[in-house]
């Protein structure tokens, strides 16, 4: 049976439109490892749930017991007196709360399990989701991509799985999903690919006799992948933080080189700016990162601003999520205290002008074209994304998604509801236009980019796009006002 997808395939976008946090309905239920199966069954019945987490004397979750486990033991003649340590499944499989549902479905399918623990940004378990709760999709095509990446044995298999992305994006758009949702699905594939490359690189290190990671670490995806806003023209933006000393850097340097080689071979090219874990500037201890971020903030110009643009949108994909969460809190706190630095970031937005031609009255006319195309990144998405990042840093908002940042700013009355809505509508419009152009270019054998051909749009869409681009010019003064609040 073929698992390939096309835009003609009946497609349910549910797993790509919802995150585990959307379907998590109860707090984790715990029981001590010394309890009996009967005690566990009584606790589960009292809460009307199908699983219970088993914790050791230190409060660490070391296993999970499900109703199916209990039924099997009873069918074997157990009277309920067996210790849960002898019945539970271990270790506990988990995913972060912001993981898309498709990834949970894929992992459950591959491992043959029906329950997954859900963790917060620090890696703490905050609940459990079951297959019965989240299995609302009609066909396995919706999560086959993520599982194919997660179980890929090599870079070629990652590349083969990623080759399905254009069909997935097209199917999601046809299914009525917005561009932000499609970008979230593409970003999830980017994170999955980076996670899998990290695991394959680790395996190759161990086969070479270099051993496992010497200290806890976290692999980070930066930039658009970290924000959940990647489109169909990928490149690498990754980094690593490890909880050790500079003496441990040799292992992570080799691992980073293997990781980035695997990603490049899988069709995710090396970052032209060197933002990769293979570069010593993009890996280090917590102290290294605090010092590095401090230097960026102190300089506040040129390359330092570019580094900030990429770094502050990171998301952990492998390793100790707590290390990443602590780094984020430290970095946001450091940046939020520096008003001169934030002011430099605001001025930087002014360098990105919308690609519009203006008439004698200062009104937006046609598009500024380069080789017949309009770049919707430099004068469209980039200033909006930058504005959200600056305001998030100013007000201590830990969200990485541009849409989520503006939502929190609106809820905190830090910007007006009208401004927040206008920015979200513009960003959605720019991303949708880029995505549709990328799909058309890929079908025509053209490398995808952020540049669109406006002649392919109808008159109404061109007028709407011009209006959204004209709004970009008010971003800088809007941010200046909000930063001062």
9 inside domain: no
Greater confidence, 307 or 324? 324
User: What confidence score (pLDDT) does residue 12 get?
Assistant: 57
Torsion sign across C-alpha atoms 429, 430, 431, 433: positive
Residues 85, 165, single domain; the answer is no
**pLDDT exceeds cutoff 70 at 170:** yes
Domain boundary among 107, 134, 161: 134
Greater confidence, 110 or 295? 295
Residues 59, 166, single domain; the answer is no
Q: State pLDDT tens for residues 334-373.
A: 988 888 888 888 888 877 888 887 654 444 568 888 899 9
pLDDT (average), residues 418-432: 94
324 inside domain: no
Work out the pLDDT band at 25, boundaries 50, 70, 90.
low
301 inside domain: yes
Residues 125, 269, single domain; the answer is no
Greater confidence, 155 or 181? 155
Residues 159, 122, single domain; the answer is no
From 338, 312, 325, select the one nearest 392 (Cα to Cα). 312
Torsion sign across C-alpha atoms 35, 37, 40, 46: negative
Q: How far apart are CA 158 and CA 162, in angstroms?
A: 6
326 inside domain: no
User: What confidence score (pLDDT) does residue 452 get?
Assistant: 95
Question: What's the CATH code of the domain at 462?
Answer: 1.20.120
Question: How much is the mean pLDDT over the chain?
Answer: 87
| Number of continuous H segments (helices) and E segments (strands) in the chain | 21, 14
Q: Which residues of 375-408 are buried (b: 16+ CB within 10 A; e: fewer)?
A: bbbbbbbbbbbbbbbbbbbbbebebbbbbbbbbb
Q: State pLDDT tens for residues 187-238.
A: 989 999 999 999 999 999 999 999 999 999 999 999 999 999 999 999 999 9
Domain boundary among 81, 105, 134: 134
Work out the pLDDT band at 77, boundaries 50, 70, 90.
confident
User: Given phi > 0 = left and psi -120 to 50 = alpha, else beta, which region is 275?
Assistant: beta
Residues 165, 313, single domain; the answer is yes
Residues 299, 429, single domain; the answer is no
231 inside domain: yes
Q: Around 199, how many Cα atoms within 13 Å sit in the side-chain half-sphere? A: 16
Residues 120, 151, single domain; the answer is no
Domain span including residue 445: 344-483
User: What confidence score (pLDDT) does residue 360 get?
Assistant: 46
Lowest model confidence (mean pLDDT) among 276-280, 369-373, 444-448: 369-373
Residues 130, 187, single domain; the answer is no
Residues 25, 160, single domain; the answer is no
Residues 357, 454, single domain; the answer is yes
**pLDDT exceeds cutoff 80 at 485:** no
Domain count, the chain: 3
Q: State pLDDT tens for residues 114-147.
A: 888 899 888 888 888 888 777 644 334 445 677 7
The most confident of 234-243, 305-314, 366-375, by mean pLDDT: 234-243
Question: What's the CATH code of the domain at 288?
Answer: 3.30.460.10
332 inside domain: no
333 inside domain: no
The H-or-E segment that residue 80 falls in is none
Domain boundary among 99, 134, 169: 134
Angle formed at CA 338 by CA 334 and CA 342, multiple of 5 degrees: 110
Complete edge-to-edge strand list for the sheet that includes strand 51-55: 30-32, 51-55, 61-66
Lowest model confidence (mean pLDDT) among 2-11, 140-149, 181-190, 454-463: 2-11
User: What confidence score (pLDDT) does residue 144 get?
Assistant: 62
Greater confidence, 245 or 306? 245
């Amino acid at each position: 049976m073929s698992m390939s997808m096309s835009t003609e395939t009946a497609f349910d976008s549910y797993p790509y439109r919802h995150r585990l946090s959307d379907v998590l309905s109860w707090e984790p239920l715990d029981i001590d490892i010394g309890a009996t199966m009967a005690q566990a069954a009584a606790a589960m019945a009292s809460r009307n749930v199908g699983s219970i987490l088993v914790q050791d004397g230190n409060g660490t979750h070391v296993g999970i017991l499900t109703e199916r486990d209990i039924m099997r033991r009873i069918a074997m003649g157990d009277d309920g007196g067996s210790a849960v340590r002898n019945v539970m499944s271990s270790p506990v499989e988990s995913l972060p709360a912001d993981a898309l549902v498709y990834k949970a479905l894929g992992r459950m399918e591959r491992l043959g399990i029906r329950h997954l623990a859900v963790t917060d940004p620090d890696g703490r378990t905050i609940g459990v989701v079951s297959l019965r709760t989240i299995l609302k999709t009609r066909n396995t095509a919706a999560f086959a991509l993520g599982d194919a990446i997660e179980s890929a044995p090599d870079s070629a298999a990652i590349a083969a799985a990623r080759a399905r992305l254009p069909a997935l994006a097209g199917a999601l758009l046809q299914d009525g999903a917005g561009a932000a949702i499609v970008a979230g699905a593409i970003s999830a594939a980017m994170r999955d690919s980076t996670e899998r490359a990290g695991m394959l690189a680790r395996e190759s290190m161990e086969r070479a006799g270099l051993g496992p990671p010497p200290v806890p670490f976290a692999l980070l995806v930066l930039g658009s992948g970290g924000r959940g806003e990647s489109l169909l023209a990928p490149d690498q933006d990754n980094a690593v933080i490890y909880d050790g000393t500079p003496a441990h850097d040799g292992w992570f340097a080799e691992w980073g080189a293997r990781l980035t080689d695997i990603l490049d071979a899988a069709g995710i090219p090396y970052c032209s700016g060197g933002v990769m874990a293979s570069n010593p500037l993009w890996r280090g201890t917590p102290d290294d990162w605090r010092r590095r971020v401090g230097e960026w903030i102190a300089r506040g110009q040129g390359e330092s601003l570019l580094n900030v643009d990429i770094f502050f949108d990171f998301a952990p994909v492998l390793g100790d999520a707590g290390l990443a969460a602590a780094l984020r809190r430290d970095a946001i706190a450091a940046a939020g205290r520096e008003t001169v630095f934030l002011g430099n970031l605001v001025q930087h937005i002014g360098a990105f002008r919308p690609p519009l031609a203006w008439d004698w009255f200062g009104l937006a006319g046609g598009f500024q074209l380069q080789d017949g195309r309009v770049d919707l990144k430099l004068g469209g998405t980039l200033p909006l994304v930058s504005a959200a990042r600056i305001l998030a840093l100013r007000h201590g908002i830990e969200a990485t998604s541009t849409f989520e940042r503006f939502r929190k700013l609106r809820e905190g009355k830090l910007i007006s509801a009208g401004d927040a809505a206008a920015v979200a509508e513009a960003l959605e419009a720019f991303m949708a236009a880029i995505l549709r152009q990328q799909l058309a270019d890929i079908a025509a054998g053209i490398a995808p980019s952020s540049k669109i051909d406006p002649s392919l749009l109808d008159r109404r869409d061109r007028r709407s796009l011009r209006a959204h681009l004209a709004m970009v010019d008010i971003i800088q003064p809007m941010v200046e006002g909000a930063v001062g609040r």
